Chain A
Amino acid sequence: MISKRAWRCVTTALICVMIAAGCDDDVLNTVPKTTIPEEDAFSTPGKIQAQVNNLYGQLQSATFYGGRLIVFNEQRADEFGQNDGNAAAGSAVWNQNVASTSEYINNVWSAGYSAINAANILMDKLKDGNVVSDSLERLYTGEAKFVRALSYFNLVQTYAKSYYLDKDGPGLPLRVTPITGAGFNDMARSSVAEIYTQMLQDLNDAEVALPANYATATLNATRAKKATAVALKTRVYLHKGEYSNVITEAQKLVPAAPPFQYTVGNLTQRLEASVAAVFSGSYIGTEAIFTVPFANTTTETPPSQSSLAYNYLGQPIIFLAANGVVSNPVFTTPADGRSSLVSTNSANQKVLRKFSITTAPFRDFVPVIRYAEVLLNYAEAAARTNDLAKATQLLSAVRNRAHPAYVFPDASVSTQEALIETILTERRVEFVGEGFRLGDLQRLGRTIPAKVGAIGTAPQVPPTSSNYIWPIPSGEISTNKLIELNP
């Protein structure tokens, strides 16, 4: 029999163990080990640099420049026929029949605003903090403004009527302050014009703040520099219809006389000698003013459904519609380098092969702004301001890069009207598959033509139709009490 004293010891010891263990509420202080806590996320120059890189990383989103945004733009326009009837492959987008509940409608909007908020947060933290030098702060702020402007541009083009059609109509909720918590759901849409004002202000600021060039060719092509902001301004002014401003900006990058090139420090921007080189090889050659790289095959490359190569060539989800730009003689003229960017598949369809890595990981870089675009923006602005000679010269520069011997017939360049149409056609030829066609139709208030695909026919969409632009996404309607729906 154990003595009472022993029992007293045993029980007391046991209870002490209990109490000791019970005191240990440190166990409740768990911290995530695979993420950085919010309070530390801006604490070192390295982390801030990573935050800046993240702004561009936002553009890599699968539903943004990771491919889907560009594919959707092409599906909505008239250059492509739809092969795949699955809604997941964007068949409803191609059919001009999307609903606010489509995840794509929601995702593109989200991707844009996620980039905008990231830019807003970073600018705010830079303003308040002392972790990086003033010069770096200025530089980073410039980059944030560029990303914000580019994001707004894509959103306003997708979800609002064009400036030309309805500049005072509803644009977008204009978010320029950081949001990191609840309570900011409700915000009415600013007008289209107000969004343009904000974009141009951001780009003007960015032009001042950004460096003329970076240390390497990769950085020059994949981070914003002065020329990037200027080049984007030519696009924004073109959409706004302010052609003299297009010319003013373009002249910063395009000298009065050939060779058309812009050089500063280690940076040279001009047309690549071979158009094919733009889409293969380095991707960061002289023509790339801004390009989204998919360099790291383990962390960055887009999934197959959003990748351009898979959509245009691998599957293909969409093919070049017979009545679209592929009927242009360029694509059957071997002398024109661009004819090599189109081929015929086993179903006897013409397919685009600008993006040719059809096996995952999809490492093709995605061009955002090319020097050729600046030339054609300039050309169109020149034509519209009646400088036909300049316009023809710039147009020919683009054409002759691909087809050196080519001379435009007089009839196509001799009148302002004809020249403008020729330039617009050249844009279709030059930028097919890069997401430009829809914007070119909408900025001029033109009807989106009907088109034929393997899954049927998609009707034409006049600017008066409700499906001329995308609906405001359901995720915004259900949460933002002040949002105005598209008619």
Chain B
Amino acid sequence: MKRTFTNLLIRLADLLARPRCGLVAISLAVTTVALAQENTLTGKVSDSATGKPLSYATVLVKGTADATTTNAEGEFTLRTRAPLPVTVSVTAVGFGLLEIVANSNEPLIISLEESTTTLSEVVISSGYNVQKKESFSGSVATVSSKQLMNRPSVSFDQLLGGQATGIDIIQPTNILNNTPVMRVRGINSITSGLFPLGVVDGVTMFVGSIGGLVGNNPLSDINPNDIQTIDVLKDASAGAIYGSRAANGVIVITTKKGKPGKTRVDYDMWVSRSTPYNLPDLLSAEDYMMIKNEALVNAGKEPGYFPTLNEDGSTLNTNWYDVGFKPGFSQSHNVSVSGGTESTSYFFSVGYTNQDSYIRNNSYERTGVRFNIDQKVSKRITIGANATYSNGTNIGTNTGAIPANSMGPSTYNSEYITNEPLARMTYVLPPNVPVYRPDGSYSIQNGVSVGYGANIPAIIGTINAYNLAMVQTLDLNSSENNTLFGNVYGELEIVRNLKFRSSYGINNLQVLNKSFFNSVHGGGASSNGIARNTHTKFYRTDWVNTLSYNLTVGEKHHLYALGGYEIIKTQSDGWGASESNVTDPDYSNYQGRYTNIAPYGNFYSDNALLSYFANVNYDFNKKYLLSFNFRRDGLSALAEGNKYGNFGGVAVGWNVHEEQFFRDSFLSGVVGSLKVRASYGVVGNSEIGDYPAAGMYSSNTYGGVPTLGFSQAANPDLKWETSKKMDIGIDFTLWNDRIAIELDYYKNDVNDLILKAPQSLSAGIPGSYINSNVGSLYNQGIELGINAILINNPGFQWNTGINVSTLKNRVTSLVSDVFVPSVFGVQNMTRVGYSIGSIYAVPCHGVNPENGQMIFVNRDGREVQYNHIGSPKWTFVSDGKEAPAIDNYTDGVMQGPSLPKVFGGINNTFLYKGFDLNVNFTFVTGNLLYNGTRATNSDQRYFNNGEFIKDRWTTPGQVTEIQKLYYGDNVSAGFSFSATSKVEKGDYLKLKNISLGYNIPFARTFLAGKISNAHVFIQGSNVFTITKYRGSDPEVSINGNSIHSGKDQNVPPNAQVVTVGLNLGI
């Protein structure tokens, strides 16, 4: 393959260098044209609304390549050899297209109307090239800066939810900078990476979760204010140029560029206040003691819970929510300077944001600068560069809601269930114990238990919950990113329309994670204080060389061809240490002295991707569109002989509205444009780890001497996991483009899944898995996007956008079930014939009215009941005889998908005079959630309970959902194994965002001409949610972006945020 490609290039070089073939033809053409009369057209373009001149409008003589742009005064001069009369088309960004016929050389006076249609001039960027949407036949979702602007968040990806079809974003918690769940057309792998590929101006980003105990989403290194557009490539045609990296979709980010004209300065700022939304109602101290003592007595023990009195004699009632949470205030400031000349354009920005979550001591601060510069060196040479430097630091307490570190493959979070996490503490801590002792010190019992107050330890057992105030104040973690990414490029027009482009990009992400656990109380007590620092460098270089050729034959054949190759190298290099046994409890950082130090977070790995690719786009008279992509990727991670994979896609499109028969038909009165398109292609997944095929042995020590042990089983046959993506779509507009509709059907067939294929544990294989190509699955669905201008009066406009996507995910083959064993039960099961990571639970038939025991159904269909203090504990309901214990795996039943069947958004914009109102809803339906937080809040240990616990069973014959309470029972309520009593529907409709803005009119003031626009706004996020889900928020995923979705447990809820801000243009 390599040789063939090389030959091709040599032939091409020969061809170009030989004057006798290609160039002769071109020079002949030039001679012919030179014979024609040359005309000079002049004119001026202005904004029809304001009368102001429009600079940098494009003026084109139709049917020719003769084009120019207007200058700062809106004037243009255009020479053309086309004979008069000619049709001149004028376009400008944000304005409609205008075509006028020039009969003479008289100056043309052109005024453009601001665009109200939603489709005009949408440009799609694949990262390697840019196409107008009109001539694009793939499936792509485009999100503009307007949709992201002014919204309080750390990173842009958190804002994509509900903005376009096919993109499912879940912001799982309010932990700052937690990486959201990002899914483009479902889940496309099981144990390989699930994150879409992110590309910023040609630089591949690192995507995942890398913060240790606090959130760190590397996409937050991109300042949302710098983004011009986000194109999400969904089908194989659009994504195939990314080959093996496109399985999960591709997010292509184009940053803002300078536009020729006067220098423009923009200043944007906002401040916000966030509070927790919909915290579960927990018991007061009085109720808590009543419930817990009742459970103790039921279990044959003495009451052990007693009130602690305040100084005034009243009963102490500690609200642990108030201890953990307080309103958080945030701010963001952004200044950008942009502009340019005919040959240079530039954009500089500096951004600063400082955000506090409602969780005490959780704050995120980022300073970033970015520049883009493009310079036309000569007629044939353009060079440019862009770079971002960003420093972001997130500081916070361990919330347990951060999925384990991942730089790719999906991970299961086990952190939320340990003693440390903050949210769990707010739910479980007893409300009848004090936070502080009378002397002001923290009330603690010992290293791991909060002070017992008046409760009796010997009766109630260990309270394995820390004093929240103490650990939240003293045990802070931080994750700091220093990122520099950008690229430089040069573009050379070798001959007319044949361009060579070389681009070299780097992405240097350096992460410093620190954690500290104090020596007195909490997770550090048993180690007498722990301090851990790790430094990790993720370093990627990306060199792309392309040749592109743009050809228009006659007036009707448009051909664009691109060929190139790319080398991407990625290195991960981490090291660190964990220190313990602090020499003095006053030290609170790594540099303080400790008596013990152990290596921590050491790793090194690298990978390389070597690719050849080609892209051909052809259209005939803009009617018939054909696009072809091919990419051959070599990936270092695969074994010799299997390294290379061929990927590609083909797409066809038909712009029906360009057909004469259509224009003549009655339809054309209603339908403005109509495009039918279809695509098919094969992409791969390269997020499979760096050495999945290798057999490896790892070293350690035994009694201080070296050991060497089997650490990974080899699979030399490991080959590419491939996704076959099919898409059929239709785009049309109605009633003068007032309504634009896009409808797609898609199906992704994923085959040869690279799976950490479970091996029987008795085989003794390390980790009990071997990376193998053993499974297959598919995602299919329909996506409907409607954009409508419902009202378009000069004074009042109402635009609405509705997007709806459906998803059906099915696992079609596997060797065995995929799930994670846990002492807390198995809530997600991946099994052939079901949606990936479906909710799995043991059927629960509710409370037996006779005796208050919870009834479950075992694998034989028999009802068994659980008595926590019984001997035996498990009995058959029918005869009271001893029954085998319920087993989560063998008695569990598939309940339904954890992925929504339907999701989408409704976005409304109202414009009235200077006011603008945006109302954005998101919705999902058809998925199940496991309400583990309710299980926590039902638990009959020392845990505080939800108010609902008061409905517990107390008397024979009583019909209720809550079982008779026995102290210590963590089984009945679905905490130790998953039970259907905690499986709930995840349907919701959420008012995600509402904002009201006002454009301050400066036109008639002394500031006119100095300030180009000033916009103030007030905004609410996560305003309300309509749902039957009984947890805080059905938008939740404790396991982050993994296949183990739909689980809610011990998560701090989402925030409700109010923001005010200002956008100023000078």
CB distance from B234 to the nearest CB of A (A): 29
| A11-B13 in contact (CB<8A) | yes
CB distance from A393 to the nearest CB of B (A): 35
The digit string for B478-511, where 1 denotes a CB below 8 A from any CB of A, is 0000000000000010100000101000000000
CB distance from B702 to the nearest CB of A (A): 4
| B694-A38 in contact (CB<8A) | yes
Known contacts A99-B886, A114-B764; is-contact A459 B872 (Cβ 8 Å): yes
The digit string for A216-248, where 1 denotes a CB below 8 A from any CB of B, is 001000100000000000000000000000000
CB distance from B912 to the nearest CB of A (A): 56
Binds B, one of A289-297, A400-408, A422-430: A289-297
| B887-A299 in contact (CB<8A) | no
Which B residues lie within 8 Å of A109 (CB)? 761-762
CB distance from B180 to the nearest CB of A (A): 28
**Please, which residue of chain B has its CB at the minimum distance from the CB of A363?**
B596
Chain B residues numbered 450-498 whose CB sits less than 8 Å from any CB in chain A: 457-462, 464, 492, 494
Interface centre among B17, B526, B714 (most CB of A within 10 A): B526
The digit string for B682-711, where 1 denotes a CB below 8 A from any CB of A, is 000000001100111111111111111111
**Contacting A92 at CB < 8 Å: which of B612, B635, B890, B976?**
B976
| B13-A347 in contact (CB<8A) | no
A51 within 8 A of B: yes
The digit string for A1-23, where 1 denotes a CB below 8 A from any CB of B, is 00010011011101100110111
B910 within 8 A of A: no
Which A residues lie within 8 Å of B765 (CB)? 117, 179-180
The digit string for A23-59, where 1 denotes a CB below 8 A from any CB of B, is 1110111111111111101000001001101101110
Interface centre among B458, B824, B869, B968 (most CB of A within 10 A): B968
B34 within 8 A of A: no
| A360-B821 in contact (CB<8A) | no
The digit string for A449-462, where 1 denotes a CB below 8 A from any CB of B, is 01001111101100
What total of A-B pairs shows CB separation below 8 Å?
379
Chain A residues numbered 128-171 whose CB sits less than 8 Å from any CB in chain B: none
| B636-A29 in contact (CB<8A) | yes
**Please, which residue of chain B has its CB at the minimum distance from the CB of A103?**
B821
Which B residues lie within 8 Å of A272 (CB)? none
**Contacting A54 at CB < 8 Å: which of B10, B545, B708, B825?**
B708
Binds B, one of A384-392, A432-440, A465-473: A465-473
| B764-A116 in contact (CB<8A) | yes
| B696-A85 in contact (CB<8A) | no
Chain B residues numbered 861-891 whose CB sits less than 8 Å from any CB in chain A: 868-873, 882, 884-890
| B761-A113 in contact (CB<8A) | yes
The digit string for B602-620, where 1 denotes a CB below 8 A from any CB of A, is 1111111010100000000
B528 within 8 A of A: yes
Known contacts A37-B695, A88-B823; is-contact A118 B710 (Cβ 8 Å): yes
**Contacting A475 at CB < 8 Å: which of B464, B700, B761, B823?**
B761
B680 within 8 A of A: no
The digit string for B702-745, where 1 denotes a CB below 8 A from any CB of A, is 11111111111111000000000000000000000000000000
CB distance from A122 to the nearest CB of B (A): 9
Which A residues lie within 8 Å of B889 (CB)? 99-101, 474, 477-478
B817 within 8 A of A: yes
Q: How many residues of B contact A (CB 8 A)?
A: 129
| B2-A85 in contact (CB<8A) | no
Chain B residues touching A, majority SS: mixed
B1011 within 8 A of A: no
**Please, which residue of chain B has its CB at the minimum distance from the CB of A316?**
B462
| A84-B464 in contact (CB<8A) | yes
A97 within 8 A of B: yes
Known contacts A27-B636, A173-B762; is-contact A60 B968 (Cβ 8 Å): no
A355 within 8 A of B: no
Which B residues lie within 8 Å of A453 (CB)? 461
A175 within 8 A of B: yes
CB distance from A364 to the nearest CB of B (A): 14
**Please, which residue of chain B has its CB at the minimum distance from the CB of A20?**
B6
Known contacts A103-B821, A314-B526, A358-B526; is-contact A28 B643 (Cβ 8 Å): yes
The digit string for B832-856, where 1 denotes a CB below 8 A from any CB of A, is 0000000000000000000000000
**Please, which residue of chain B has its CB at the minimum distance from the CB of A104?**
B823
| B708-A41 in contact (CB<8A) | yes
Interface centre among B565, B596, B690, B709 (most CB of A within 10 A): B709
CB distance from A28 to the nearest CB of B (A): 4
CB distance from B932 to the nearest CB of A (A): 13
| B696-A25 in contact (CB<8A) | no
| A53-B761 in contact (CB<8A) | no
Which B residues lie within 8 Å of A115 (CB)? 764
| B823-A180 in contact (CB<8A) | no
| A102-B13 in contact (CB<8A) | no
Interface centre among B528, B691, B712 (most CB of A within 10 A): B691
Binds B, one of A181-189, A199-207, A261-269, A411-419: A181-189
B826 within 8 A of A: yes
| B871-A30 in contact (CB<8A) | no
| A36-B888 in contact (CB<8A) | no
Known contacts A99-B888, A184-B759; is-contact A87 B823 (Cβ 8 Å): yes
**Please, which residue of chain A has its CB at the minimum distance from the CB of B460?**
A454
B598 within 8 A of A: yes
| B760-A50 in contact (CB<8A) | no
**Contacting A455 at CB < 8 Å: which of B461, B581, B890?**
B461
Which B residues lie within 8 Å of A60 (CB)? 702
A277 within 8 A of B: no
Chain B residues numbered 605-651 whose CB sits less than 8 Å from any CB in chain A: 605-608, 610, 612, 634-637, 643
A300 within 8 A of B: yes
The digit string for B417-437, where 1 denotes a CB below 8 A from any CB of A, is 111000000000000000000
Binds A, one of B111-119, B766-774, B992-1000: B766-774
Which B residues lie within 8 Å of A92 (CB)? 823, 971, 976
Known contacts A181-B715, A293-B702, A296-B701; is-contact A315 B448 (Cβ 8 Å): yes
**Contacting A102 at CB < 8 Å: which of B527, B706, B822?**
B822
B348 within 8 A of A: no
B19 within 8 A of A: yes
| A22-B2 in contact (CB<8A) | yes
**Please, which residue of chain A has its CB at the minimum distance from the CB of B635?**
A28
> How far apart sit A90 and B821, CA to CA, in the bound complex (Å)?
14
**Contacting A36 at CB < 8 Å: which of B2, B301, B708?**
B708
> How far apart sit A83 and B607, CA to CA, in the bound complex (Å)?
48
**Contacting A103 at CB < 8 Å: which of B526, B695, B822?**
B822
Known contacts A28-B636, A474-B889; is-contact A457 B869 (Cβ 8 Å): yes
Closest 3 pairs (CB-CB, A-B): A117-B764, A38-B695, A459-B871
A-B contact pairs, 26 of them (CB 8 A): A12-B17, A21-B543, A37-B694, A37-B695, A37-B697, A38-B694, A53-B707, A85-B464, A85-B942, A86-B464, A110-B768, A175-B764, A179-B764, A179-B765, A299-B599, A300-B702, A358-B526, A359-B526, A359-B528, A456-B869, A457-B869, A459-B870, A474-B821, A476-B760, A476-B761, A479-B816
Beyond A300-B700, A480-B760, 20 additional contacts (C-beta under 8 Å) are: A19-B9, A22-B612, A38-B694, A53-B706, A54-B702, A56-B707, A92-B976, A101-B977, A104-B823, A106-B761, A179-B764, A299-B598, A299-B700, A310-B526, A315-B462, A359-B526, A360-B527, A459-B870, A476-B761, A485-B890
